[in-house]
Structure 1
Amino acid sequence: MTWKFDNVVELHKESPYTFYLPSEHVIEQLKVGDLVKLIFLSDVTLENGYEGERMWVEIIERTELDFRGKLANQPFYLKSLQYGDIVNFKSIHICNTQLDDPHSKEMDYYFDNKVTVSNDVLLKNEFNFMLRFEPDNESDLGWVFFSGYEQDDFNSDPNNFQIISVGKMLNIDDSILEFLNDNIRCAYERDTDSKKLLKIEDYDFSIHD
């Protein structure tokens, strides 16, 4: 079974609000003896259904971008690797460290705070309408997202909606960042020409009461 390292910089580009990437400041601080986490990708699907394992590696040498390390975990699925194996890697392969990273607190916000979204939004990977209600709990931001194509009978069925992290919505369109803390009970709709989200000043919330 052969393997390679996953490029976590590319993974972060694909999902910037849900895939944590250590900041450049943290990478610069890494030294011999520190532990970093890497994603080892297999050339075949593993028994757990995934394509790789995340494992800790102890740094034993480093230059600016090149590292040499010793595997600090015993692989569970990748039988071609063993605890203590020496591997060469680069900063683009490091998905986590044991150092404090202020950027991780931003990621915590994106993970811990939740919104409600219609299944049609997730199916189409787009939304065109968003409403903010009174939050149900501390982690609920109160936002509900719609694709704009849902029918009344669809919206009346709670099984057609999910609660997800706000980071997942930001991966679809992070222009909503400027609206997230807007007043409770507000509405936005995407303009068909400009594609921008515009506030609906006279939206009738009584239809939801």
Structure 2
Amino acid sequence: MVDDGDVPDRIVSYRLADGETRHAEAPRSFFIPPRAEREALRPGDYAKLLFEVTNPEPSDPGAERMWVQVLGVSDGGYVGALVNTPRAITTVGLGDRVDFGPQHVIATPGDWPLLGKKAFVSRRCQDLDLRPRYLYREDPDNERDSGWRAMVGDESDDEINNPDNVLLQDLGFLLDRWPDLKPVLQTDPQNGEWFWNDDSETYVQGAPG
């Protein structure tokens, strides 16, 4: 909490950024959890919010990413308490109340060690923003390798065998971009194949027919 006797030199206010709008504007660089996950928070859970500075000066950050702990669920949103100390913003402090909605949540705790491991990903998935429609897991090559391989699904042998056509990415980055992958990755460390089914709009285990 900000001490009443400690008056800041300048009042620095904030507004909560709409993460859904940010994601829609930059879907390949601003990732947010699936809506269902953002709507299912319960007291005790944590959520990261983007606090935009409304009156920044050149030396100020444009925004601060900070965590809040959910204290309760309100109509269409949450009541939380800030668990970080702002660096620039002066109108909210550690422990202060923050009201927010699912649209403001830009992250939830990611303590899954798997997400820091690497996956081989078709370059076309990244360059053309194409969903990986075929995934498989094999025994990892080393400790950093997750064993996961994510492909567009129509690659030729020549394309796959050319190292310039394959990227090494964190699984966390891949999951941020394609949240539908979560049920697939939760099967880890099971080896197998999964493909995207257009009819069900889900990943289905097994090789495509």
Partner of 1:167: 172
Aligned to 2:116: 112
Any idea what the Cα deviations from partners look like across 1:155-193, whole Å, max 9, x if unmatched? 22223222223234344223413543323xx43444566
Distance in 1, matches of 2:162 and 2:63, equals 38
Out of 130, 155, 177, the position equivalent to 2:185 is: 177
Alignment partner, residue 16 of structure 1: 33
Work out whether residues 73 and 83 of structure 1, in 8 Å CA contact, stay in contact via their aligned partners in 2: no
Q: Is the 8 A contact 1:128 1:197 kept in 2?
A: no
Task: Pick one of 128, 134, 137 that aligns with 2:133.
Answer: 128
Structure 2 partner of 1:5? 16
Q: How far 1:113 moved relative to its partner?
A: 3.1
Q: What is aligned with 1:206?
A: none
**C-alpha deviations, 1:77-100, integer Å up to 9, x for none?**
xxxx4588798631546879xxxx
In structure 1, the gaps of 5 or more residues are 29-35, 76-80, 97-102, 202-209
User: Is 173-182 or 119-128 further displaced after alignment?
Assistant: 173-182
Residue 26 in structure 1 maps to residue 26 in structure 2: no
**Aligned partners of 2:193 and 2:16: how far apart in 1?**
44
Gaps of 5+ in 2: 1-11, 24-30
The 1:89/1:23 distance shift into structure 2, 3 A limit, reads: same
Question: Matched residues in 2 for 1:141 and 1:164: separation?
Answer: 10
Q: Among 190, 199, 204, which residue is 2:206 paired with? A: 199
**1:150 partnered with 2:155:** yes
User: Could you tell me how far apart the structure 2 residues matched to 1:67 and 1:193 are?
Assistant: 39
Quick check: which one's helix share is greater? 1
Alignment: residue pair count: 174
How far residue 42 of structure 1 moved from its aligned partner, in angstroms, is: 4.4
Task: State the TM-score, normalized to the length of structure 2.
Answer: 0.54
Select which of 75, 87, 112 maps to 1:74: 87
- Contact persistence 1:128–1:189 (CA under 8 A): yes
In the other structure, the counterpart of 1:187 is: 193
The answer as to whether partners of 1:114 and 1:140 remain within 8 angstroms in 2 is yes
Judge conservation of contact 2:56–2:62 (CA < 8 Å) in 1: yes
